[in-house]
Structure 1
Amino acid sequence: MYVASVRPSERVKGKVPGTVVALGTVSLLTDVSAEMITAFMPVYLLYTLQMGYAQFGILDGLYTGATAVLRLVGGHLSDRTRRHKAVAGAGYALSAVTKLLFPLVGANAFGIGATMAADRAGKGLRTAPRDALISLATPPERLGVAFGLHRSMDTVGALLGPLITFLLLAQIGIVAGPVFVISACFAVVGLIVLIAFVRENAGEAKRGPKPSVKAGLALLKDAGYRKVAITAAVLGLATVSDAFVFILVQQATGIPLAYLPLMPLGTALVFLVAAAPMGRLADKVGRRPVFLAGHVLLLAVYLLLLAPDSGYFGVGAALLLHGLFYAATDGVLSAQVSALVPESLRASGLSVVQTGQALTRLVSSVGFGFLLQFAAFGTAVHAAIGALALAIVLAWRMS
């Protein structure tokens, strides 16, 4: 049975709809592609092209924040046309094409930045429609489980991506071409799976107000929705990007640089194991407290950076906590937002929250890059700890 064609009466309590499994497969393949690049970029930009932390922070900010505006576009278009799959497919296609552009731009910083931005723009375009497909096929009481399972499958790709990159670099050295080409192949296969195996009832009317830009922004008038959006943005502003977390862990623990591309694999492995249980926990005890608790775990990661030369034990502890942070926040936030938004505005509602989070994380990445460039390591880490602790307190007081 094709998932997105499942009728509400066919949703069996306790079962995860086929839509979630199908889209999980697409995300798995796409994440192999994306995480190959994520694992490769710090080594390539910092140690091959000899970029400074400030330049890296700007590029990493583009990689994170380029999704922002197109999240709104993707959410609005998919709600307006009732074709979530088509809009998501356009985003997956854009990301696949950009993988083939990386070898062409070579060591040109502007070209790399523009290509990274285009790649993340594809992610921005597809994220809200994809999450809308999942939420519309799932009963409200099962949203945490559904998003947890999807994120778990997505994380299998996040496990395989860094591993493939590590094995490639071990065989051929730091050569960009093969990494980008293989990454593109996985992205194309993911797009094919989406086209061939995910279907939706595009013409079926959804309950709620007629989709429009005004209606999407009007969601912020609802106190519960506005609280979630502000909380996600405030915490995003104090969240150091994954690339910087892995760089800081490598420097703080003193492990060999060759293991840097493998660090995302550790985070992904924990995420894979913990995402579905965290989703079930959030369904039972509440999604907001689990989301806030996840950021407390991230604060513990930052505190571990103050332990000098902790070696492989420090790496293991940091990656364990980092993976649990994502398990408690990524799918949980989408589930929390989905429960607050009417069906007809589901993608738009998701995209507004995701856009705010992406924009604040862009600011965080650029700011932390400059801080790490011009301040001491310890100063930068203490600043990150203070900012996140303050953000958690502000978010908690809003609850």
Structure 2
Amino acid sequence: MTDIGSMYVASVRPGERVKGRVPGTVVALGAVSLLTDVSAEMITAFMPFYLLFTLNMGYAQFGVLDGLYTGATAVLRLVGGHVSDRTRRHKAVAAVGYGLSAVTKLIFPVVGASAFGIGATLAVDRAGKGLRTAPRDALISLATPPDRLGAAFGLHRTMDTVGALLGPLVTFLLLYVVGTVAGPVFVVSACFAVVGLIVLVAFVRENPRPVLAGPRPSLRAGFALLRDVGYRRVAVAAALLGLATLSDAFVFILVQKATDAPLHLLPLLPLGTALVFLLAATPMGRLADRIGRWPVFLGGHVLLLAVYVLLLVSGTGYVGVGAALVLHGLFYAATDGVLSARVSALVPESLRASGLAVVQTGQALARLVSSVAFGFLLQFAAFGTAVYAAIGALVAAVVIAWRLNA
């Protein structure tokens, strides 16, 4: 798969259109994200099983670690966005982020069962993601005509999701073959991350753009974007919705508990979400280009609300698992790339990565708070109480976000 993908990427020049829709840069970055997401989702699929059922951590501890995994990207998103805008070397900054995440996969086996060691390694891994996300999205948006941003981000997220689909499957197969041994999972994850970095360096070409329209890049200029009413409303709404969004790990744990699915299937649950995301990301991106990116983004959170409600329905079994994962995948298809497309249209070229980073930082910090708070709630309150609290928070966030951007 890697050789074929590399040959295809190499045959597409950055400025060319793929089937008349998006530039080759998007395809190349999609291949990088595919490989990197195999690596990342292997860890995501393994961590709940490893921390809760191998190391016997409580939900509160898991919530803190999951919050680190989600929110440790926050500050470095701003750094990555600012440095890449200032130097106009988005690819180089993204490469540093990809490389940092690849190295951490080899550190996990060294820290063993230490909660502090695992937390620190997770934080460094996500710091790498924080550095690379805004420069990568800036590369996509700067190479794409404004009327095709939804389609471009949709295609990228589709390829990214192929990796998200394969990652849990690789983890499941490794656990099946070698048992619940952590080492092989981390080593294979590292290999995929390294190959992704090689593809980035070898095949992604940054189009030279000596002068970009807009203010001179600086941290102050990035935050000054919040003075614009339209941008500020999107940033605030995205953060509020992030505060009411449970992390993937908690969603999968809750689905398993609510439906009484066998515990050994927990690492496979991300496959359902990834498969739906794979099928729906590009169509959702095109739909957002046609009818508006914000209605699609907000509609995705209504789908997430339906996932939470399903958790309260007892006795659904595998039907409930399937329905929850379909809705969860559609939520991601309607929100992930669509938000980047919406923000890109509001930000000048010279501050593209910084503008994306400010919104992404607010969202990441909000999700960190969400993970920690929900972990403690699930630890000390009844299952139903925790779910009702999540439903109430998301309803309030959707209503406020709708009013802000009505």
Q: Is the 8 Å Cα contact of residues 128 and 348 (structure 1) preserved in structure 2?
A: yes
Q: How does 1:27-66 map to 2 (within 5 A)?
A: 27-66=33-72
Match runs of 1:341-356 below 5 Å: 341-356=347-362
Q: How does 1:259-298 map to 2 (within 5 A)?
A: 259-298=265-304
1:80 aligns with 2:86: yes
Q: For the residues of structure 1 that align with 2:317 and 2:248, how far apart are their CA atoms?
A: 19
- Match for residue 128 of structure 1? 134
Give the letter aligned to residue 45 of structure 2. Answer: A
TM alignment of 1:77-226, pairs within 5 A: 77-202=83-208, 204-226=210-232
Quick one: which amino acid aligns to residue 283 of structure 1?
D
Alignment partner, residue 227 of structure 1: 233
Partner Cα separation in structure 1 for residue 214 and residue 36 of structure 2: 32
Tell me, in whole angstroms, the C-alpha distance in 1 between the residues paired with 2:150 and 2:207: 23
RMSD (Å) for aligned C-alpha atoms: 1.2
Deviations 1:245-288 (A, max 9, x none): 00000000001000000011100000000000000000000000
The amino acid of 1:264's aligned partner reads P
1:374 partnered with 2:380: yes
2:28 & 2:56 partners in 1: Cα distance? 41
The one-letter amino acid of 2:259's match is: T
Are 1:238 and 2:232 an aligned pair? no
263, 274, 277: which one pairs with 1:257?
A: 263
CA distance in 2 between counterparts of 1:296 and 1:381 reads 15
Q: CA deviation at 1:202?
A: 4.5
Aligned length: 396
Q: CA deviation at 1:201?
A: 3.2
Give yes or no for contact 2:21–2:152 (8 Å, CA) kept in 1: no
Q: Deviation of residue 204 (structure 1)?
A: 2.0
Residue in structure 2 matching 1:321, options 324, 327, 335: 327
Structure 1 residues 2 and 123, CA gap change in structure 2 (3 angstroms): farther
- 1:26 pairs with 2:26: no
Deviation, 1:13, is 9.1
**Native 8 Å contact 1:67 1:122 kept in 2:** yes
User: Matches of 1:160 and 1:322 in 2, distance apart?
Assistant: 17
Aligned to 2:6: none
Percent of residue pairs identical: 81
CA contact (8 A) 1:3 1:137 kept: no
1:340 alignment partner in structure 2: 346
Q: What is the deviation of 1:329?
A: 0.1
Q: Which runs of 4+ in 1 moved over 3 A?
A: 1-5, 10-14
**Cα shift readout 1:127-155 (whole Å, capped 9, x = no counterpart):** 00000000000000000000000000000
- Please give the secondary structure, in 1, of the residue aligned with 2:107: helix
Q: Do the aligned partners of residues 167 and 59 (structure 1) sit closer, same or farther apart at CA in structure 2, a change above 3 Å counting? A: same
Q: Out of 360, 368, 372, which is 1:362 matched to?
A: 368
What's the offset of the Cα at 1:56? 0.1
Name the SS for the 1:100 alignment partner.
coil
Residue 310 of structure 1, CA deviation:
1.1
1:303 is aligned, of 301, 309, 312, to 309
Q: Does the CA-based 8 Å contact 2:172-2:267 persist in structure 1?
A: yes
The answer for the alignment partner of 2:3 in structure 1 is none
Amino acid at match of 1:341: V
Deviation string 1:219-244 (CA, Å, 9 cap, x unpaired) is 00001110110010000000011000
Q: Could you tell me how far apart the structure 1 residues matched to 2:209 and 2:244 are?
A: 41
